[in-house]
Structures are given as C-alpha cells and as structure tokens.
C-alpha cells in the first residue's frame, strides 16, 4: 500500500524529533514501512539546489548543526507568499534551533517542459502518456524561510481534545471499538523491522494513538456511507437537508483529523504529566457552508451510477431462468422477472450523526408498516403487481 505524503510527514516529524533529541537512532526506524516506495528530497529555492536526496542524510546534517526538534504546522501559520506554498501538498515542517527556526514547505516540482511551445495544448488529452504513475512517489521539501527566535509549539491535553471532538461530532472519542494500542496504518503484511506505528510511541502519546485511530475509523465509515455505489447506505435515502448536514459533519471530521495529525506529530513528551489549563486553541478551522445544490449534484451522480448497475443486473437476470432470486439490497426473494424498485424513504427529524445511526434499523420497520397499511407508492402498475402475485402463487 502506498501511503500518502501527509502520513510520511507525520512520521518524519515524530521520529525525526526523537532522533534529534537522542532518544532514537536512525537505524531504529529509518526502514519504516511508510517510507517504502517513496523518495524524499530537500532543496533550496535558489537555483533549486539539491541539499539532500534522503531524509536520513538531511536529519544527520541537522543534528550536527545543532537542531533540537521538528514540528508540523499549517503553511498559513507562517504567512508565506511563495510559489512553493501555492504548490504545497501538505503541511509545513519547522526545524528548531536554539536561536532560530527554519521553515520547510512540502510541495511538488513543476516540470518546465510541460509548457513547451512545441507541445499541443488542446486542454483535454496529454501529449504523451504519463509514466510517473508507475514510479515511486516523490516528496520535495523546500527551505523557504529562516527566522530568528524560538517557535512555540503548544502541548496537548488529550482528554480535553477528546472531549471537544466528542461534543462537536456527537461520537465517542476515543472509541471502544478501536484498538487502544499504537496506530498502524493498514497495508499488507510488512516485515517485523518495518512495521512501526505512524508516530513514535510513549506514555504521553498513548491517548494520541487511540484518538487518531478513532477519527480514521469514522472517516472510513463515512466514506463507505457516501459512496454512490453503496445502494444500501443511509445517505442514499436522506432528503436534501439530511445530506447537507451529513456533508457538513464530514467537513468537521476532516478538520479534527488535521488538528489531531498536527498534534500527534508534535507530541514528543516522555511522560503524560500536564497541568490542566484552558481549553486548547484550534489549529485548524473547518470550511463553513455547504450548498444544497452540491449535495444534490453528488446524489444525482450517485443515482446515475446506480441506474447503470441496475441495467447491468437486469441484463444478467434475463439470461437466467425465472426462478427464485434475491432482491438487490438484501430484501425478500421474489419470483419472475418483475421486482419492485426501492423508493427512498424520507428522513424526518434531526439529520445529524445520531439519526444516521438510528436510520438503518428503522428502515425495515417503516417499510413493513407502510406495506401493511398500503400507503407505499410503488413504481409497479396494478396489472404488473397482479401478474407478479399470480406468478408467485403458481406451482413450480
């Protein structure tokens, strides 16, 4: 599994700080599986000079130059206005010295020949196939600034942070359904010497691992719910207000994940002793607002995918004998080629996360009660329904 650049930045800052402080050597973690298949290059903007072509070389030079630690930040925190910041693909890494700090931006390098005058520019198709997808990933770090003085990195009270996330998202953080041990990203069966947690483990970082693992699990569950191919998800049966509320909930979840990743990477205390003070200041704010049209467009695209899937299934069933088969979505079996099309049930009440969890067990009860009352509007005609009933009563 290829890990994202964001995860590599979290691991680099966490384990790099342990190395700079003398708590761990490079031989203990440089073969971390998260760096497998990726190259990390460190450059100076002037002349695009290559300073180091490996993170081990970069950290070794920083340690000999007197670097004390690394920290992870949002690029907007430093008010940088450079091309590298615009092209950045993640966070900003700060290198702390006794009297100054350096700022390194993670970005992607732009090839000059992509704008070659001899290349056609039709705006639709590339002139040549892109072979970069077959190669390893490349993270470019540029040293864009060096500023005097110390850079403050706040410590985290993980209990307060978990309480704030629970209050905002109405979920239990950390969750008892997620293992409480160190956080390992999924992907294959790595060897023992490359299977390491995403960030360094310690007594202070133990609750951080559990918290971030809980948020990752919620993000994966939400992605499955909003997948347009998941016909049985509660998101596909929500009204527009519920869909917009769920998307806003997802944006808040993404914002808390960014907040947690920054704080997890910067957690370098050896003990969990921290005086309880004021609530922590947010490092990242979610993007507010979600137009109902955006949710409607996403759901329309999802319905188009579902219609195509139904057409494919219908053609497959035509080649089979008209016997007993199960309805799509796990419903009751029916006979013959006719089957009811499921009608989305409107969701009333609070469209938040708690209503989302309660919707799935209520769907069958609502539909069963509506069928008994005869109040469900079916897409069948009366003749088709009678024909299906007569077919179901006929002997095989």
> Using CB atoms within 10 A of its CB, is residue 27 exposed (0-12), middle (13-18) or buried (19+)?
exposed
Per-residue confidence in pLDDT tens, the chain, 396 aa: 345 889 999 999 999 999 999 999 999 999 999 998 889 999 998 888 899 999 999 999 999 999 999 999 998 888 876 555 445 457 899 999 999 999 999 877 777 787 778 876 666 666 777 787 777 888 999 999 999 999 999 999 999 999 999 999 999 999 999 988 999 988 766 677 778 999 999 999 999 999 999 999 999 999 999 998 888 888 888 889 999 999 999 999 999 999 999 999 999 987 766 656 556 788 887 766 544 444 444 444 444 444 444 444 444 444 433 443 434 444 434 344 444 444 444 444 444 445 445 545 555 555 555 555 554 444 333 444 444 444 444 444
Residue environment code for 29-44, b if the CB has 16+ CB neighbours within 10 A, otherwise e: bbebbbbeebebbbbe
| Euclidean distance between CA atoms 6 and 257, whole angstroms | 11
Backbone angles phi, psi at 141, to 5 degrees: -110, 125
Question: Is the pTM of the predicted complex or chain greater than 0.85?
Answer: no
Contact (CB, 8 A) for 55 and 305: no
Residue 217's region, left for phi above 0, alpha for psi from -120 to 50, else beta, is alpha
Residue 321, both tokens: 């004998």
Q: Are 61 and 95 in contact (CB under 8 A)?
A: no
Choose among 188, 199, 194, 197: nearest CA to 32: 194
Beta strand extents in 5-87 (DSSP E only):
38-44, 49-52, 69-73
Residue whose pair of structure tokens reads 């989305």 in the numeric block: 344
């Amino acid at each position: 599994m290829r890990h994202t650049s964001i995860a590599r930045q979290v691991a680099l800052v966490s384990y790099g700080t342990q190395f700079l402080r003398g708590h761990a050597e490079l031989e203990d973690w440089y073969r971390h599986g998260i760096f497998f298949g990726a190259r990390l290059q460190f450059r100076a903007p002037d002349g695009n000079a290559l300073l180091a072509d490996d993170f081990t070389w970069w950290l070794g030079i920083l340690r000999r130059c007197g670097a004390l630690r690394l920290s992870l930040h949002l690029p907007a925190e430093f008010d940088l206005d450079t091309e590298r910041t615009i092209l950045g693909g993640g966070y900003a890494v700060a290198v702390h010295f006794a009297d100054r700090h350096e700022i390194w931006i993670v970005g992607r390098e732009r090839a000059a020949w992509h704008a070659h005058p001899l290349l056609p520019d039709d705006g639709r198709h590339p002139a040549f196939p892109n072979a970069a997808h077959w190669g390893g990933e490349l993270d470019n770090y540029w040293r864009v600034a060096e500023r005097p003085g110390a850079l403050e990195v706040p410590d985290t009270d993980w209990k307060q942070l978990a309480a704030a996330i629970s209050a905002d998202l109405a979920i239990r953080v950390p969750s008892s359904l997620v293992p409480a041990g160190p956080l390992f990203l999924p992907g294959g069966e790595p060897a023992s010497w490359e299977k390491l947690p995403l960030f360094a483990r310690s007594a202070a970082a133990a609750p951080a691992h559990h918290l971030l693992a809980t948020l990752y699990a919620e993000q994966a569950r939400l992605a499955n719910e909003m997948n347009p191919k998941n016909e049985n998800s509660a998101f596909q049966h929500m009204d527009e207000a519920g869909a917009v509320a769920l998307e806003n909930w997802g944006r808040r979840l993404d914002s808390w994940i960014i907040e947690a990743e920054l704080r997890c990477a910067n957690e370098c205390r050896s003990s969990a002793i921290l005086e309880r003070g004021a609530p922590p200041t947010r490092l990242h704010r979610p993007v507010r607002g979600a137009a109902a049209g955006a949710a409607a467009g996403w759901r329309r695209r999802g319905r188009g995918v579902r219609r195509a899937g139904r057409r494919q299934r219908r053609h497959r069933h035509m080649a089979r004998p008209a016997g007993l088969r199960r309805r799509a979505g796990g419903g009751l079996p029916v006979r013959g080629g006719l089957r009811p099309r499921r009608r989305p049930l409107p969701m009333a009440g609070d469209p938040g996360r708690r209503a989302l969890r309660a919707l799935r067990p209520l769907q069958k009860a609502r539909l069963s009660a509506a069928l008994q009352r005869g109040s469900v509007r079916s897409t069948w005609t009366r003749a088709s329904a009678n024909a299906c009933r007569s077919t179901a009563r006929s002997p095989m």
